[in-house]
Amino acid sequence: MLLGLGTWAAVGGHALWQRRCAAPGSVRVVSWNLRNFSGATTPTSRHAPGHDLVRLADHLAAFDADVFCLQEVLTPSALGPLLPGYTLEASGDGGAHGQQLVIARRASLGAGLPFTDRCTALNPGLRPTLVQSVSLDGRRWSVVVVHLKATPAGHATRQAQHKPLVQMLEGLPRPRLVVGDFNTTGARGGSPASEITSLCETLAAIGLHRARPTLPCTAYWEGSRFDRFAEPSVLDHVFTERAGPTAPAVQVAPGLHCARNRCAPITSTPAYPDLDLERVSDHCPLLIDVLGAAAVS
**Could you tell me if residue 100 is inside a domain?**
yes
Number of domains in the chain: 1
What three-state secondary structure class fits 58?
helix
Give pLDDT, residue 228: 73
Mean pLDDT of 211-238: 89
CA distance readout (Å), 265 to 179, 220, 223, 224, 274: 25, 8, 12, 15, 12
Strand 27-37 relative to strand 67-73, pairing? parallel
Whole-number Å distance between alpha carbons of 130 and 142: 10
Asked whether residue 20 is domain-assigned, the answer is: no
Question: pLDDT-derived band of residue 20, with 50, 70 and 90 as boundaries?
Answer: low
pLDDT at 5: 29
CA distances from 142 to 52, 103, 178, 184, 236 (A): 32, 12, 8, 23, 18
Q: Give a yes or no: residue 244 inside a domain.
A: yes
The range of the structural domain enclosing residue 63 comes to 25-291
11 within some domain: no
Residue 6, domain member (yes or no): no
Residue 141 lies in a domain: yes
Give the N- to C-terminal CA distance of the chain in Å, as an integer: 20
Amino acid found at 289: D
CATH code for position 146: 3.60.10.10
**CA separation (Å) from 19 to 9, 63, 156, 269?**
11, 6, 41, 31
Q: What is the pLDDT of residues 129-174, one digit of tens each?
A: 999 999 987 789 999 999 999 999 999 999 999 999 999 999 999 9
DSSP per-residue letters across 81-94: GGSTTEEEEE-S--
Residue 9 has pLDDT above 60, yes or no: no
5 domain residue, yes or no: no
Residue 13 maps to a domain: no
Q: Under the phi-then-psi rule, with left for phi > 0, alpha for psi from -120 to 50, and beta for the rest, what region is 30?
A: beta
pLDDT at 66 (0 to 100): 98
Dist CA 288 CA 65 (whole Å): 9
Tell if the pTM clears 0.95, that is, is over it: no
